[in-house]
Amino acid sequence: MEERTLGATGLRVSALGLGTLTWARDTDEHTAAELLRDFVEAGGTLLDTAASYADGAAEELLGSLVGTVVARDEVVLCTKGGVRRTRSGPVVDASRGALVDSLDASLARLGTDHVDVFLVQAPDPRTPLAETAAALVHVLDTGRARYVGLSNHPGWQTARLAGLLGGHTLAAVEVEYSLLQRGVEREVVPAAAELGAGLLAWSPLGRGVLTGKYRRTVPADSRAASAHLAGFVEPYLGRVSGPVVEALATAADGLERTPLEVALAWVLGRGGVASAILGARTAGQLRPALELDLVLPEQIVAALDEVSAPALGYPERR
């Protein structure tokens, strides 16, 4: 598998990352071990998790496998903090105390003394960006994390926080990015490029919709049929995504490839993308992606760009 540099840093990550959103919930220990083994054997290194995934159980499961199924020095661990569980549900909290405490708990669950990349999972309107930045500087200075970044933040916050890191680098920006979600191209992608931050694209398959499996119906074993993930997939079903999915299927037929391969190749061909993070629930879902060797012809890219172009308004388009 190809390795890419994470932005302007010296950290190298695999072009495909393995996401763990479903681990310890829809993906059990045996399947997770199989996923991890297949991923690393194919040359994959980037493992993406978060303290909030399955209330920490995803990190615990990953920690139990790193050091047994694969060696710690074979992988790049990326975790996220800033979303904590309360009695009334999850709450975004990017304060210094919450972020440091979250990372310490993550390190314990992962069974390591540091993570390679630590991200703030979501914007916190109640905490000043200067305080969030100070927390990131602290985890870098104390060796808890080697690199830091943001996840799901708008462009202006990304640029502002990068300027508050006191000589440290904003290494990564993790955002949803696919043929069905190109809103980040308006401001986040240009900001990341100017700052030298590498893009980590989550859900590059449009929450599974770009595989084509929802073209006719909702499979009984799919996320869209799951009680706790149906709401995650539903926004990308129906007439909004239809033209893009059909154009993708047409391109795939013409190239004698699958829609999955074409959708992934499109994301990996975007400027600044260091890794596309796959949330496969089973080894069968992951393996076709691990064999990807496709570079899209310019004409195909242009056609897909046109049909999936995000709406622009003031001030991006004047």
Q: Which residues are catalytic?
A: 53
Q: Residue 51's closest CA among 82, 86, 6, 93?
A: 82
Place of tokens 């239809």: 242
Pairwise CA distance, residues 64 & 295, whole Å: 36
Do 188 and 158 contact (CB within 8 A), yes or no? Answer: yes
Burial of 218 (0-12, 13-18, 19+ CB in 10 A): middle
Q: Residue 166's closest CA among 138, 197, 194?
A: 138
Do 246 and 209 contact (CB within 8 A), yes or no? Answer: no
Whether omega for the bond prior to residue 310 falls within 30 degrees of 0, making it cis, is no
Pairwise CA distance, residues 180 & 177, whole Å: 8
